[in-house]
Chains A and B, each alone.
Chain A
Amino acid sequence: MSIQTEVAIVGAGIVGAACAFELAKARVPVAVIDRGFVGGGATAAGMGHIVVMDDSTAQFALTRYSQTLWDELESEAPATVEFDRCGTIWVAADEEEMAAVRRKSAYYNERGVRTEILDANALREAEPNLRDGLAGGLFVPGDSVLYAPCAAEFLLREARKRGAEIYLGQPGVAIGQGTVSVADGTTFVAKYVVNATGHDAPRLTPGINVKSRKGHLVITDRYPRMIRHQLVELGYLKSAHSIKTDSVAFNVQPRKTGQVLIGSSRQYDVAGTDVDAQILSAMLARAFRYIPSLASASSIRTWAGFRAATPDKLPLIGPWTEDPSVILAAGHEGLGITTSLATGRLVTDQILGRTPAISIEPYLPSRQMSGAHA
């Protein structure tokens, strides 16, 4: 069987859903294909933090742009999306990290992102369960959290209202030259094929540099108000950037239900989503160092998933140089929830020839061709 459409999107995670949402809004006929169900991969495995980041100017531009798109959607999102503008506090353990707080604050403020520098007392007031002796932190009130699988569902529901077709339970076997072949023998024929399959993207587009970076999370039972903001250690900027070695960082998130999500870990070259007791213990020990009372909380689930990591920590958005009918929308690493909407918008801009609101240049896959084989 053969199905005709304008754009075939492989992957119904948050990125594929956002692409479908934006394309359908622009009245482009789309089909979304997924091996499993909506938001069942990294979308379900991650935290759902809408966060402005400043590792690079390109990362800042994309996260900031995408955050404004999420904010525009907030009023339309159903309660299941659990959108909560709780803000982020970047926690500084010592004076060295307080210097980073001041640098980060200046960078954000210069670019129109409101921040508030917290000294030790202000931090204790904002988060009474953090341990004593921390130096302070940076409060970014515009950041949010949401429940990503339901956000993906919401985006696809909106897309479907505008004519998008969704095909679930069929893995894409091969893509290229305007076609997607799926396991049951169906072929989708389209002008463009969007590869939005996250860490699995190189399977359908061999030659791109996207690696799987495993992460663990724990969710606790309900302890309302134990924490009030997304809390991330500033040391994260040191630990999470190490490409080669396994690392853990303090990164916890309050859910609207009162549950607490505890992260985070990063591991390369590990196959399978089995929970690794050793790195999980290290991750929890790190969290207990910041919030001692968390150690007596009950956890109800532990799981692991894969981020899609690129060498320069920026996603691949745009046509693949070896087959321009293939549009890549993958490699979002730990920021896919944040940057999904901007990705959908940029992909749609590309396909329609519209001028994008931010330069797409830093995210174009062609950058992986120059020197990629060195």
Chain B
Amino acid sequence: MPDTVTVRVNGRAVTVPAGATVAVAILAAGAISRFSVTGHPRAPFCGMGTCFECRSEINGQPHRRGCQILCEPGMNIQSDG
């Protein structure tokens, strides 16, 4: 098993340790996950699936909780900013 995995966050290649979650990749990319309905920037917070702040679009599926999904090679992650 390779030590790292490379995904795309908002079109940019990001390499993270194997076994890292999408939330990690978003943080590693210096991105935020989403804007709230009132326009506030939000980033991964609890890391355990409870706070829902890490939602982003993963491989075309909207509103996925990044902290509950492991990065896979070539995964396409689209966050709000």
Query: Which residues of the other chain, B, contact A222 by a CB distance below 8 angstroms?
Result: 37, 62-63
Size of A's binding interface in residues, CB under 8 A: 8
B62 pairs with A223, CB closer than 8 A: yes
B52, B55, B62, B63, most chain A CB atoms within 10 A: B63
Interface residues of A in 279-338 (CB under 8 A from B): 297-298, 300
- In the complex formed, the residue of B with least CB distance to A299 is B63
* Any B CB within 8 A of the CB of A370: no
* Complex interface bits, B41-81 against A, C-beta within 8 A gives 1, otherwise 0: 00000000000100100000011100000000000000000
* A257 to B: closest C-beta gap in Å: 4
Query: Which residues of the other chain, B, contact A300 by a CB distance below 8 angstroms?
Result: 52
* Any B CB within 8 A of the CB of A221: yes
Give the contacting residue for B37; candidates A223, A257, A297, A298; CB below 8 A.
Answer: A257
Interface residues of A in 242-275 (CB under 8 A from B): 257, 259
Task: Tell me the interface secondary structure of chain B in the complex.
Answer: strand
Query: Which residues of the other chain, A, contact B55 by a CB distance below 8 angstroms?
Result: 221, 298
Query: Which residues of the other chain, B, contact A221 by a CB distance below 8 angstroms?
Result: 55, 62-63
Query: Which residues of the other chain, A, contact B62 by a CB distance below 8 angstroms?
Result: 221-223, 298
**How many angstroms from the CA of A146 to the CA of B69 in the assembled complex?**
35
Query: Which residues of the other chain, B, contact A257 by a CB distance below 8 angstroms?
Result: 37
Interface residues of A in 217-240 (CB under 8 A from B): 221-223
Query: Which residues of the other chain, A, contact B64 by a CB distance below 8 angstroms?
Result: 298
Query: Which residues of the other chain, A, contact B52 by a CB distance below 8 angstroms?
Result: 300
**How many angstroms from the CA of A223 to the CA of B55 in the assembled complex?**
13
* Complex interface bits, B24-53 against A, C-beta within 8 A gives 1, otherwise 0: 000000000000010000000000000010
**How many angstroms from the CA of A223 to the CA of B63 in the assembled complex?**
9
Query: Which residues of the other chain, B, contact A223 by a CB distance below 8 angstroms?
Result: 62
Query: Which residues of the other chain, A, contact B37 by a CB distance below 8 angstroms?
Result: 222, 257, 259
**How many angstroms from the CA of A221 to the CA of B64 in the assembled complex?**
10
Query: Which residues of the other chain, A, contact B63 by a CB distance below 8 angstroms?
Result: 221-222, 297-298
* A296 to B: closest C-beta gap in Å: 8
**How many angstroms from the CA of A35 to the CA of B35 in the assembled complex?**
34
- In the complex formed, the residue of A with least CB distance to B65 is A298
* Complex interface bits, A357-373 against B, C-beta within 8 A gives 1, otherwise 0: 00000000000000000
What 3 pairs across the A-B complex have the smallest Cβ distances?
A221-B63, A257-B37, A298-B63
Q: Which residues of B contact A (CB under 8 A)?
A: 37, 52, 55, 62-64
Q: Which residues of A contact B (CB under 8 A)?
A: 221-223, 257, 259, 297-298, 300
**10 A-B pairs (CB sep. < 8 Å):** A221-B55, A221-B62, A222-B37, A222-B62, A223-B62, A257-B37, A259-B37, A298-B55, A298-B62, A298-B63
